[in-house]
Structure 1
């Protein structure tokens, strides 16, 4: 499911999150002047190593995505404004910004969860047959394991 987040207060940002990617599209003169960027930046969720989040106060808040090969700005909001991996937002957009971060974090953790592969009974029987043929198992042991796997 694709979700779209619009931030319009400090520059114009559209962030689209699907199953695999975070896409940041910046529009407007403010973004062009600060970032010199146009178009859309796509970051694979599985490559995101960190998300820096700053609440808005006297200045804008921001969400900055770090990934292997990117350079994270270290100078707060003034450097973040120039970073193409950063989305700026105002106080009135704080709730939406937190929802965006929570969504991406949940997808990051889901994609990093170890994948377990189920081994079918047929695969197990084939392995047992190989052990029987190699002389590791006796015919009786093979037959007993086969019955167990088939539920007989």
Structure 2
């Protein structure tokens, strides 16, 4: 579990869900208290503004595309967004680690899985190994039976 505490909220990522927790007076005034649990599969992007002269923020895009606020108003808008957490420069390193884990997890969802080898392909490879002498007759027969489910 990766956690990061910002101003007015915390983020936690367990590999499957991101939980945004709000506590305190500021949270009640802007978002209400409590937790919001978002499945990783619902997050389409992570917007990031590092802390500098002003606070930074991490903002989760849920579903479709988000419009970016005009320069100068981004942090103020993020503070009002229920899917964002604002952080200070001191808190930034924890959010950077969380951001990296989230982006890696999101990207891995979109990496195509290697196509499964067909039964014919597996048998052809097995036959080639047998022909090369890597497998003896008994090993070849056993592996062929395993592939064919016999």
Deviation per residue, 1:82-119 (Å, 9 max, x gap):
11100111110111111111110111111211122533
Segments of structure 2 that go 5 or more residues without pairing to the other structure are: 131-139, 141-150
Residue 34 (structure 2) aligned to one of 13, 32, 39: 39
1:148 aligns with 2:114: no
- Counterpart Cα distance in 2 of 1:52 and 1:97: 12
Q: Is the 8 A contact 2:3 2:10 kept in 1?
A: yes
Query: Hey, what does 2:63 align to over in structure 1?
Result: 68
TM-score (norm 1): 0.69
Deviation per residue, 1:63-88 (Å, 9 max, x gap):
00102158656241111111110011
- Counterpart Cα distance in 1 of 2:67 and 2:30: 16
1:58 aligns with 2:58: no
TM-score (norm 2): 0.70
Query: Hey, what does 2:108 align to over in structure 1?
Result: 110
Higher relative CO (Cα under 8 Å, sequence separation at least 6) belongs to 2
Distance 1:119 1:146, change over 3 A: closer
- Counterpart Cα distance in 2 of 1:70 and 1:15: 21
Q: Is the 8 A contact 1:66 1:72 kept in 2?
A: no
Q: Aligned pair count?
A: 127
Q: Does the residue aligned with 1:81 lie in a helix, a strand or coil?
A: helix
Distance 1:38 1:70, change over 3 A: farther
Segments of structure 1 that go 5 or more residues without pairing to the other structure are: 129-144
Calculate the aligned-residue CA RMSD, in Å. 2.7
Q: Does the residue aligned with 1:97 lie in a helix, a strand or coil?
A: helix
Query: Hey, what does 1:81 align to over in structure 2?
Result: 79
Shift of 1:29: 0.8
Distance 1:71 1:31, change over 3 A: farther
